Amino acid sequence: MSTNLVFVDADEMVLQALYLKTGGQPVKAVQEGLGMLGEEFGEDLAVGGVGATGSGRQLIGVVVGADVVKNEITAHAVAALQRYPGVRTIIEIGGQDSKIILIRDGVVVDFAMNTVCAAGTGSFLDRQAARLGVPIEDFGGLALRSQHPVRIAGRCAVFAESDMIHKQQMGHSVEDITRGLCQALVRNFLNNVAKGKEILPPVVFQGGVAANVGMKQAFEEALEVEVNVPTYFGVMGAIGAALLAKEELARNPRRSLFRGFGVSRTDFRTTSFECDGCSNHCEIIEIYLDAALAARWGGRCDRWERLERGRAAGTPAERTP
């Protein structure tokens, strides 16, 4: 899983893009990224607005002081439309999940996500590259050199891995196995994530896996259309979040909620508890900023989100809203 930060200027040009490994610690990764940006641009630099997206958007939105917090579908679509105004299909494959977004006349009309099967995600490709003894950055290049790709079962990560091992034992070349694996993972995506959806060009491929030229070629072969890969393919969601923040503050002018680059040195702590207010038993997440309660979320109602902002951290017994 990755944590992505981008710095975009007033003309929507990317000045810096960071692609960091989360390592199971999203707050620490964001703090590290903000520290790097602060060193590069100076901590006194005026920031016009901040956006947050992705699976940890609520948590990170509180940490950085985001002006907008949007889902990944919206963020990826906004970024793709800025670079390719006529885009009609977005394929996004990251480290842990994959998604397809259909756009018609500049509007998202449909999407689908796969967060269950690991086949086709960046983590799965990393693992198979390691098994083959191939650096992941060389994986796609090897696939392009294949003349006789082998057919590998791609409907399930477990089956794909076992089938790949079988092909190795039979003596197939690494080049043919890597290309066969790329083709299998593309079939997995088209049969599971994109099943029943009309894929129309222009097609844009984004997410970390778009760096794999073997996957790009496999998509082009399967779809029989050109597949476009943006310059900043790995951080398109972050770019979209930045553009959405700019749009929000242009529509409702005010000072940004950004906490500043000093966030990189701030002490954040998260806890959770189960609410016993009803039969749902929601798991409530709390985040503390320097010992002060900053936010709560996770419930199906707003009982715990109606918090006393800035209240000092207390014991579970003091949680009654």
DSSP conformation letters of 186-232 = HHHIIIIISTT----SSEEEESGGGG-HHHHHHHHHHHTS-EE--TT
Q: What is the pLDDT of residues 294-308, one digit of tens each?
A: 888 788 887 887 654
For residues 27 and 289, give the distance between their C-alpha atoms in angstroms, rounded to a whole number. Answer: 12
Q: Which residues contact 313 (CB under 8 A, 6 or more apart)?
A: 288, 291, 292, 293
pLDDT at 155 over 70: no
Average pLDDT for the chain: 87
User: For 29-43, 99-113, 152-166, which range has the lowest pLDDT when averaged over its residues?
Assistant: 152-166
Determine the pLDDT at residue 321: 46
- 132 pLDDT band, cuts 50/70/90, is confident
Q: What is the pLDDT of residues 28-77, one digit of tens each?
A: 999 999 999 999 999 999 899 999 999 889 889 999 999 999 999 999 99
- 194 pLDDT band, cuts 50/70/90, is very high
For residues 54 and 241, give the distance between their C-alpha atoms in angstroms, rounded to a whole number. Answer: 9
- 18 pLDDT band, cuts 50/70/90, is very high
Determine the pLDDT at residue 156: 67
The neighbour count for residue 56, using CB atoms within 10 Å, is 17
Q: Which residue has the tokens 């699976």?
A: 55
- Its pTM stands at 0.85
For residue 35, the 8-state DSSP code is H
* Cα dist from 123 to 91, 156, 174, whole Å: 17, 14, 19
- In the chain, count H helices and then E strands: 9, 12
Q: Which residues contact 200 (CB under 8 A, 6 or more apart)?
A: 88, 89, 102
Give me 199's structure tokens: 């894929």
- 309 pLDDT band, cuts 50/70/90, is very low
For residues 160 and 131, give the distance between their C-alpha atoms in angstroms, rounded to a whole number. Answer: 13
For residues 312 and 190, give the distance between their C-alpha atoms in angstroms, rounded to a whole number. Answer: 50
The answer to whether the beta carbons of residues 61 and 91 sit under 8 Å apart is no
Determine the pLDDT at residue 317: 37
